[in-house]
Amino acid sequence: MIATAPTTTWYLGLAALLFVIGMIGVMVRRNPLVLFMCIELMLNAVNLTFVALAKRMGDIGGETTVFFVMVVAAAEVVVGLGIIVAILRRKPGASTDDLAELKG
């Protein structure tokens, strides 16, 4: 059996599957940490799409965009995760509904 390299269609299908899993997780789960991970999963699915299409088109613009998205996502993770962990330490059973009460 001859193994062939995955095509762009495979990568786009995987990205769509990852995005749908993240979207379902955002809609169903109420734990802030799980919700945060689902949002990150959705961001990575979009990054995979950018990279796959950039490779197919032979353009470096997709990889450049992914680099900036990853930098912003890393900063968001540091701030967001710090806030969520601080809230969960103070109130261990907190859900996203409880966090909505923090709006000023």
Give a yes or no: residue 57 inside a domain: yes
88 — pLDDT class (breaks 50, 70, 90) = confident
Give a yes or no: residue 42 inside a domain: yes
Give a yes or no: residue 28 inside a domain: yes
> By residue range, what is the domain housing residue 59?
8-91
1 — pLDDT class (breaks 50, 70, 90) = low
Query: What's the total number of domains in the chain?
Result: 1
Question: Six-digit token pair at 24?
Answer: 């379902």
Q: 104, 103, 98: which is closest to 35 by C-alpha?
A: 98
Do residues 25 and 34 lie in contact, with contact meaning Cβ atoms separated by under 8 Å? yes
pLDDT digits (tens, 9 = 90+) for 17-53: 999 999 999 999 888 888 888 999 999 999 999 999 9
Kindly report the CATH number assigned to the domain that includes residue 74.
1.10.287.3510
